Structure 1
Amino acid sequence: MVSRKRPSCCGTQKLSSGDALLKTGTMEIVNPKIFNMLGAYEKAQYPLFLISDSGLMMYEDTLFEMALCMTEDVGLVHQMPFTANRQGFAGTVEK
């Protein structure tokens, strides 16, 4: 189901470009992180884009450096991520 008018979509109304879209529903994807990123991947408007995670940290110029590595014969650039120490069970599992 795709909706732009549900109250839970209030965050999308802050974006005036009209490109915001909230998709809800299920697919045959077991990993919830992959399911959540799939819609953004399918709607990518640019040839280069970054897929990241809220727990990952990046230096300010990391994206620029990664884009410089993209050439005609390179299909993917990957950086070794580093995370911030977080408290609790989830922080321990992610580390």
Structure 2
Amino acid sequence: DTKGRALYFSRSPIPYPRTRQGIWYKHIGPYAWRRSFLLDFSKWEQTPLEKRESLEMLRVLERGHSIRCIMTERDTIEIDTPNDLTRIGKYLSEP
């Protein structure tokens, strides 16, 4: 939204690209949560949109919470596998 909060997350481009014009952003993590929020989150059932998209952040939005987004110019490294974790460890240890 205009205040930097996420409206939705999807594995598909949103909004639907009727033309090739426009500005597109790539979503990356990480997220920062308070411990108490994580304890609550772990007790919540999956929500319909979360199940549909297989994105747990939709559970947060569907329960009425907001997620603030910031923009960065930095390159990022995705960490999805044990191999990625090894790679980021090497990257962070470089001078």
Where on the TM-score scale, by shorter chain, does this alignment land: which range? under 0.3
More strand by share: 1
TM-score scaled by structure 2?
0.24
Higher relative contact order (CA 8 A, sep 6+): 2
